[in-house]
């Protein structure tokens, strides 16, 4: 509720929509009109301290251990990854993305799903 949020003196309030496949199948993004309406309501109370998070995060996924398969699986276990980002993530290691992804799909370690017109990889 907006009164509660303004009462705790937040530095920034974020309005977000699911940009990756959510854990619950019933979750859907709001309409653009509803997002704009929410932004305006919050802006009345918070001014410039409200921000929209409605765009994909980009392809800045990093391999922390250098073990690309393990790092990829660890990432997608908590963060579904768009297919184009998965390819770039794997390419950075010098591996062939299609080969790695095909093997992981065959081993049923990952699943490829479509969400809002884009393909994503999730851990099976």
Question: Residue 114: enclosing H or E segment and its boundaries?
Answer: strand 110-115
Structural domains present in the chain: 2-53 (no CATH), 68-123 (1.10.10)
pLDDT score of 72:
93
pLDDT score of 86:
94
pLDDT score of 4:
84
HEC readout, 3-30: HHHHHCCCCCEEEECCCCCCCCCCCCCC
Give the torsion through C-alpha atoms of 70, 74, 95, 56, to 10 deg. Answer: 180
pLDDT score of 97:
96
pLDDT score of 59:
61
Mean pLDDT split into 10-residue runs, the chain, 124 residues: 80 85 84 87 90 72 76 89 93 94 98 92 93
């Amino acid at each position: 509720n907006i009164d509660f949020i303004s009462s705790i003196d937040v530095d920034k309030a974020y309005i977000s929509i699911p940009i990756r496949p959510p854990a619950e199948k019933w979750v859907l993004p709001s309409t653009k009109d509803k997002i704009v309406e929410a932004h305006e309501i919050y802006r009345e109370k918070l001014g410039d301290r409200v921000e929209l998070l409605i765009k994909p995060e980009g392809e800045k996924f990093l391999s922390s251990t250098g073990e690309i398969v393990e790092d990829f699986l660890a990432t997608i276990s908590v963060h579904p990854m768009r297919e184009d980002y998965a390819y770039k993530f794997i390419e950075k290691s010098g591996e062939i993305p299609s080969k790695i992804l095909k093997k992981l799909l065959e081993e049923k370690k990952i699943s490829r799903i479509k969400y809002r017109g884009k393909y994503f990889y999730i851990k099976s």
